Amino acid sequence: MTLKTSFIPLFFIYFFSLYSSYALANSKNEIALSPTRDQSLTGMEVATQLSKRHYLDIVLNDELSDRFYQRYLSSLDANKNLLLQEDIDDFKRYRLHLDDTLMRGDLSPGFAMFNRYRDRLQNQLELIVVTLPDIINKLDFNKHEQMILDRKDQSWPANIEEAHDLWRKRIKSAVLNLRLAGKEEEKIVELLTKRFKNQLSRSKQLNNEDVFQLYMNSLAQLYDPHTNYLSPRSSENFNINMSLKLEGIGAVLQREDDFTKVVRLVHAGPADKQGQLQPSDRIIAVGQGTEGDMADVIGWRLDEVVQLIRGEKDTTVRLEVIPVEAKSDQDTKLIEIVRDTVKLEEQSAQKDTIEIVDSENTTHKIGIIDIPAFYIDFDALRRRDPNYRSTTRDVKRLLNELVKEKVSGIIIDLRDNGGGSLKEANELTGLFIDYGPTVQIRHASERIFREQKLTSTPYYDGPLLVLINRLSASASEIFAAAMQDYQRAIVVGGQSFGKGTVQSLTPLRHGQLKLTESKFYRISGDSTQHRGVVPDISFPSLYDKEKVGESALDDALVWDFINPVRHRKYYDIPNLLASLTQKHKQRIIKDPDFQYLLEEMALIQSNQSDDNVISLNEAKRKQKEEKGKAQSLALENKRRTAKGLDPIKDFKELGEDKDESTNPHSENSKLKDDEDNADIYLTESSHIILDSIDLFNRQLASARPEKKNAFNAR
């Protein structure tokens, strides 16, 4: 069950992608790639499995063939700056026939399109490598021109000259970035030449396995974004990811345009402990050891970047990244991380406490249980080891310890918890309810199964709050939704990810198919898919729901609902929310850190309108960069003044001097030891649960005055 409910594997995940290139020339073509017999037979097998076993009943017909064709084109040349309109006109003969050819085991359309793409790619790179110094020498940085970053809605280049001009603009933007970063002209030519030579070398290493995986995934991901074909090599890496045996930095990576982007960090992994690498940072270079050359990895395949970052325990890897908060691509930083293996003990639930003073100047202790994943040691369980580790067993122990410490209430922190074992999500819910259902699971056959706590056993019935964010997914959403539906806890934070589907792995003749076959539903009947869990009280968040979450993924399954299950309601939480929300708003309007976050969100939103168009005029680019730095500095100094701190005079000091609470991803951070760097989300959650304690206890006393149990914190 751990595999089925996982949101993202706990180390590197392989989101297969091919780097894009942009222009055309004429040179000798490589030998055309062609499918093997195993691949042809596996293609038929994939099509059959998708049609028969996927949660959605989608017929492989002309309509799906058209979507398959469009998705494959996008996979080859997403930014429409490599293939020409004449290529697209030629490819149209395949548009309504990919379904028929695939069911016959004929992969020739996919390979023909790929071979054309590869020829265009290699021809362009060969031309660029030869002419780059001359191209750069002719660039006019005083000319007023712009470049569209995302060209997916633009037309295909009408001819080779138009494609060349698109590529010239990409080169000009790259050169401008390096100039503004202070690079010398000779170094710029050297760096970009090396980058393009690397891309050319990698293009010549493309093989039929690359083509087949890309082609199959272009079909599979039309069903939903979590259905994937895994080649034998990808299957091996996937199994390594799930076993937690891999030694590395503990980061989940994906490909975005020419960059390798950090999706999330593994809790208690090397990168998380080091503290500098953040989600959405883009890795542009990798170096081995504490000194020496850095390999420029812009344009590299994801698996090659991952292989470079991986390494033996206790060795050092250096990453040059463009931070998520960078105002331009030339603002980079160097990060050193010592590789290690993530241990189960460090992935386990941890407890802490925070002291909050109420309006009558009385100090209250609030318990915090941080759950980074829903884990269980299946090997130890099978060996009947009485001390096997699991989320529920660890949390039960921590609950007892916090009750003995006489905490006034407990916060369950599920931020960044990407899921894990469904069994553990069900059993964890049982620590906070008497008995009853926890989640409904509807299979592709439309049969509905329910997980539940079958018998009444002692449970913690004191004040409870669940803290979530946009990266809380899958099993986390099941638990948070159950607590909300039972009205057992107040749920606060950000709207969760919205992954409400279950996948299984099916072995194929060649590789494996990860296929969505079930869907989660709350006991209220609502799906957690797409919509996720909407908190009772929302906190400001820098996560853009248009870019992060299930709803941001192409072809994600929709939200829907089924019949609810009868269940008890422990409190009347909706009746508390108006008062709690009002007090929450009154607090954060006076909190410098929350106000900083709200103003940062407004600033980001105001700058998003022109995010897809970038100026190639050096003066305008400098002006925009300086404006961004001035805005960031003004925001930070406003916050510092409100907190009684000295203002910062120069933007360069900002990264060195600002504390953790101003980090754009501070919603991910955990409780700090000193008050100045306290996690503002946990602090505010503690105030909310403190506000609710009297109301909780009055409702509890009137509803169940006779109940006594091992976890009663009153």
Where in the sequence numbering do the catalytic residues fall? 474, 485, 499
Taking a C-beta distance cutoff of 8 angstroms, is the pair 490, 689 a contact?
A: yes
Taking a C-beta distance cutoff of 8 angstroms, is the pair 183, 296 a contact?
A: no
Taking a C-beta distance cutoff of 8 angstroms, is the pair 548, 532 a contact?
A: no
DSSP for 55-122 reads SS----SHHHHHHHHHHHHHHH-TTSSSS-HHHHHHHGGGTTTHHHHHHTT--HHHHHHHHHHHHHHH
Cα–Cα distances in Å, from 501 out to 265, 517, 557? 22, 8, 8
Closest alpha carbon to 625 in 328, 329, 321, 331: 328
Exposed/middle/buried for residue 373 (C-beta within 10 Å: 0-12, 13-18, 19+):
buried
CA 228/CA 222 separation, integer angstroms = 10
Closest alpha carbon to 467 in 416, 414, 428: 414
Cα–Cα distances in Å, from 325 out to 182, 280, 528, 598, 608? 20, 9, 31, 15, 14
Query: β-pairing, 316-322 with 333-338?
Result: antiparallel
SS3 337: strand
Sequence-ordered alpha helix ranges (H) in 204-288: 208-223, 232-243, 270-274
CA 172/CA 178 separation, integer angstroms = 10
Give buried/exposed letters for 258-295 (b at 16+ CB in 10 A, else e). bbbbbbbbbbbbbbbbeeebbbbbbbbbbbbeeeeeee
Count of Cβ atoms closer than 10 Å to residue 120 Cβ: 23
CA-angle at 474, arms to 688 and 378, nearest 5°: 110
Taking a C-beta distance cutoff of 8 angstroms, is the pair 399, 431 a contact?
A: yes
Closest alpha carbon to 536 in 589, 483, 586, 604: 483
Amino acid identity, residue 54? H
SS3 13: coil
DSSP structural state of residue 508:
-
CA 304/CA 20 separation, integer angstroms = 15
Closest alpha carbon to 339 in 306, 372, 304: 306
Contacts of 155 (CB under 8 A, 6+ apart): 80, 85
Query: β-pairing, 316-322 with 294-296?
Result: unpaired
Tokens representing residue 488 in the block: 């057992």
Contacts of 275 (CB under 8 A, 6+ apart): none
Supply φ then ψ for residue 591, to 5 degrees. -90, 115
> Residue 330 belongs to what H/E stretch?
none
SS3 423: helix
